[in-house]
């Protein structure tokens, strides 16, 4: 099964699990769990914009930093640029925030409501260069379900 096939199945599962539930935190929690389990990522979770900061939301994986400023780290940069950032090697990303020293690569996907960014999805891997255009495309699609 290719990565795309896996995402396609996962997309349908997430859609059915969150349909009928209007609570966004509950839906973020199940989405993080489904993504994390399906791919065996190191850390999978959401940061939600509150009081002009990114504040830790539902996640799976080890304990993480709770607040990230605008333009800080990969998450804050994705917020600032309003676009997905794929980082093949976090050690080469200036300003990367190391919540876990075991993270090697990362993807951060911004989330919008009516054109306004309100959260980001952040996924970390213990391997280098885990994420590519396929992850970007599918994760951008998945967050639009929320
Ligand atoms: N590495 C992120 C911080 C969040 S943790 O990875 C969960 C960053 O640089 O924004």
Give all domains of the chain, ordered by start, each with its CATH number: 3-145 (3.30.450.40)
With a CB cutoff of 8 Å and minimum separation 6, the contacts of 113 are: none
pTM for the predicted model, two decimal places? 0.97
**pLDDT tens-digit map of 120-134:** 999 999 999 999 999
Residue 72 alpha carbon, nearest atom of ligand 1: 10
pLDDT above 90: percentage of residues in the chain: 96
Q: How many Å lie between the centroid of ligand 1 and the Cα of residue 57?
A: 13
User: What pLDDT score was predicted for residue 99?
Assistant: 85
**Burial class of 47 by CB neighbour count within 10 A (0 to 12, 13 to 18, 19+):** buried
Task: Supply the mean pLDDT for the chain.
Answer: 97
Structure-block tokens of residue 109: 């996907």
Would you list the DSSP string of 54-105? EEEEEEESS---SEEETT-HHHHHHHHHTS-EEES-GGGSTT---SSTT--E
**pLDDT tens-digit map of 20-52:** 899 999 999 999 999 999 999 999 999 999 999
Whether 85 lines ligand 1, by a CB cut-off of 6 Å, is no
User: What pLDDT score was predicted for residue 18?
Assistant: 95
User: What pLDDT score was predicted for residue 102?
Assistant: 92
């Amino acid at each position: 099964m290719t990565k795309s096939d896996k995402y396609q199945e996962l997309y349908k599962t997430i859609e059915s699990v969150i349909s009928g539930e209007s609570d966004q935190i509950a839906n973020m929690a199940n989405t993080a769990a489904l993504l994390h389990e399906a791919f065996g990522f190191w850390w999978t979770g959401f940061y939600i914009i509150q009081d002009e900061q990114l504040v830790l939301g539902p996640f799976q994986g080890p304990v993480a930093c709770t607040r990230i400023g605008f333009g800080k780290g990969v998450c804050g940069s994705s917020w600032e640029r309003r676009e997905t950032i794929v980082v093949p090697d976090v050690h080469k990303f200036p300003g990367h925030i190391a919540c876990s020293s075991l993270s090697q690569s990362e993807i951060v996907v911004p989330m919008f409501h009516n054109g306004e960014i309100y959260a980001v999805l952040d996924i970390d891997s213990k391997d280098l260069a885990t994420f590519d255009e396929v992850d970007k495309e599918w994760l951008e699609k998945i967050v639009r379900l929320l």
